[in-house]
Structure 1
Amino acid sequence: MARDYPKQNVRSAASRRVLQRAAGVAEGLETLARKPVKIWRTKGFPYRAPSVPRGVAVPAKESTLGANFDTDFARGPGARFLRRLLVAGPVTGMVQFLARPKVEGVDRLADLANNESISGVIFAPNHHSHLDTPLMVTAVPKPWRDRLVVAAAADYFFD
């Protein structure tokens, strides 16, 4: 019984050679990684958690997610500088490219800027897309932009 196999062409042979070379490179990388991984696996403390003797109760580790997520670093001068740099550069560029926003009504915020008894303001987008956050960050006027905090749903971003 004759079988009708598709004819091999030059392109499939060349593709096969490329895949074989890639497989060889991957195998070589795996071989190179074996020794360091083996050393890391056999090392104990401080590269791994210390062993616990029987009868000793290990206290539960406190969660660092959600409301317990450490955000102190975000209020430092380094993070503030990095935020300014990101907002002035790539974030504004992306927003201008995608949306071309027109900011109106900034004059209504003049009373807030001059009133020292007001300690905080909430700017809330209507959440029609993931572009809302970068759009708001670039549209908020300068007096508030430096102290702007973006709130994110813990179930969405920290799971």
Structure 2
Amino acid sequence: MARDYPKQKTRSDMSRRVLQRAAGLAEGLEGLAAKPVKMWRTKGFPYRAPSVPRGVVVPARESTLGADFDTDFARGPGARFVRRLLVAGPVTAMVQFLARPKVEGVDRLTDLANNDAIGGVIFAPNHHSHLDTPLMVTAVPKPWRDRLVVAAAADYFFDKRVKGTLA
């Protein structure tokens, strides 16, 4: 049984020419960038690490990524202020747009807050997606949110300096 599928739209000659010119321009820029990169790679010291004489043991460089990533700045007042702005604005808007969370059982948190015998609480999402952290940060009630600490996988979020700083 034959089906009548809608006719596929084809690119016009003009749009095809524009795409071909853009591809040619990209190739040209790639060629221009290749020369300085090749020249940079042939340079030695001080642009690269110096050679090491025989018999000298170079100490291993301590890692500043992964579990050794320095996160002291994240607990400072500046980072805390920026985090509050982000959570109050774009993060909450994104979560409301994507998930529309419904918070239940807040009365239990009030009971916990009034109990001095309890030192802390763990809020644990089901780890269904990368939206878990923003969802939890926006769903936790205000007095608890200010003291919330987020745990993250060091091997995933802190493997590059930029990702670690943003995390």
Query: Scaled by the length of structure 1, what TM-score is found?
Result: 0.72
Secondary structure, counterpart of 2:149 in structure 1: coil
Q: Which moved more, 1:140-149 or 1:42-51?
A: 42-51
Mapping of residues 1-159 of structure 1, within 5 Å:
11=11, 13-14=13-14, 16-34=16-34, 36-38=36-38, 40-114=40-114, 118-158=118-158
The structure-2 alpha-carbon separation of the partners of 1:148 and 1:47, relative to structure 1 and needing over 3 Å to count, comes to farther
Q: Is the 8 A contact 2:67 2:155 kept in 1?
A: no
Root-mean-square deviation (CA), in Å?
3.0
- Distance in 1, matches of 2:148 and 2:82, equals 13
* Alpha-carbon shift at residue 114 of structure 1 (Å): 4.6
* Residue identity opposite 2:123 in structure 1: F
Q: Which has the larger radius of gyration?
A: 1
Which amino acid is the alignment partner of residue 148 of structure 2? Answer: L
User: Structure 2 unaligned runs (5+)?
Assistant: 1-9, 160-167
Amino acid at match of 2:24: G
Structure 1 position 42, deviation (Å):
4.6
Amino acid at match of 1:22: A
Name the SS of the counterpart of 1:64 in structure 2.
coil
Alpha-carbon contact 2:67-2:158 (below 8 Å) kept? no
Moved over 6 A (4+): none
Distance in 2 (alpha carbons) for counterparts of 1:26 and 1:19 = 10
Contact 2:103 2:139 in 1 (8 A): yes
Change (3 A) 1:140 1:46: farther
Task: Kindly indicate whether the alpha-carbon contact (under 8 Å) linking 1:87 and 1:138 is maintained by their aligned counterparts in 2.
Answer: yes
**Equivalences, count:** 150
- Which sits farther off after the overlay, 21-30 or 92-101? 21-30
Preserved CA contact (<8 Å) 2:126 2:132: yes
Give the C-alpha shift of residue 31 in structure 1: 4.2
Give unpaired runs (5+ residues) of structure 1. Answer: 1-9
Q: What percentage of residue pairs aligned between the two structures are identical? A: 89
